[in-house]
Amino acid sequence: MTEKNELRLVELIAARMSHDLVGPVGATVNGVELLAEDQAADADVVRLIGHSARQASRRLQVFRAIYGTPGALPAGAPFAAASQLLSGMLEGEKVNAAPWAANAAVEAAAGRAGARVALLAAFLLVEALPRGGEVRLDTEFAGNSVKLVATARGQGARLFEEVSATIAGKVPSEELTAKAAPAEMLRILATALGGRVGVTPGKDVIELSIIFPALGDD
């Protein structure tokens, strides 16, 4: 990846993060302004502020894990930590996250870098469920490799075409958009692990499978 392309991806990721945080941060600000105007702690406004602030905080924690370094997740149980981050972000939303059950051997082989990729795949799939549903992760060994399968299940489940094309490496960097930037990040991270990402669409279900050599903790 050239320096110019890297800069463009950074810009798009920043734009995407800002877009995802505008809603909860804006709602928090509006709630504070209402309290300032009324000079009274209306219970509904206080609840709005609390919910919006927690939502922004939880999204930031997920962003730190998927866009930062693998060290953002704990070495001992990175998949459990990633699962908690995703569940927290989705609390009160139409999409829920099934608990991730990665056995100790797979978790050790995948390491924090693998857990980061799994969390990013699950994050992508949340957008594939516009009417709600469930995102889950299954892990297994495939020969000497680790296989992660992130699944979105719900009515009308689908990935945007540009997201699928980006995962497949079919979108030139100059045509990449903020919407597809996380998909490009997933493709790059999977490639860096020596692996690949596959997309399997179905009726009301989408699977993202990531296969890479066993890493061990990093």
Helix (DSSP H) and strand (DSSP E) numbers for the chain: 6, 5
Name the residue with tokens 């890479």. Answer: 212
Half-sphere exposure of 100 (CA within 13 A, CB side): 28
Helix (H) or strand (E) holding 209: strand 205-213
Instruction: Give the Cα separation of 164 and 167 in Å (integer).
Output: 5
Q: How far is CA 116 from CA 50, 70, 97, 101, 161, in A?
A: 28, 6, 16, 15, 24
Structure confidence at residue 216 (pLDDT): 56
**pTM for this model (two decimals):** 0.86
E strand or H helix at 191: helix 181-192
Give the pLDDT confidence score for residue 215 in this predicted structure. 66
What does the pLDDT read at residue 77? 83
Query: Looking at the domain that runs over 3-213, which CATH code has it been given?
Result: 3.30.565.10
Place of tokens 């370094």: 69
Q: Report mean pLDDT in 10-residue bins for the chain, 218 residues.
A: 72 83 78 68 74 85 87 85 92 90 78 92 94 92 87 94 94 90 94 92 93 72
pLDDT at residue 56, as a whole number = 86
Residue in the structure block whose two tokens are 């279900």: 205
pLDDT of residue 122: 95
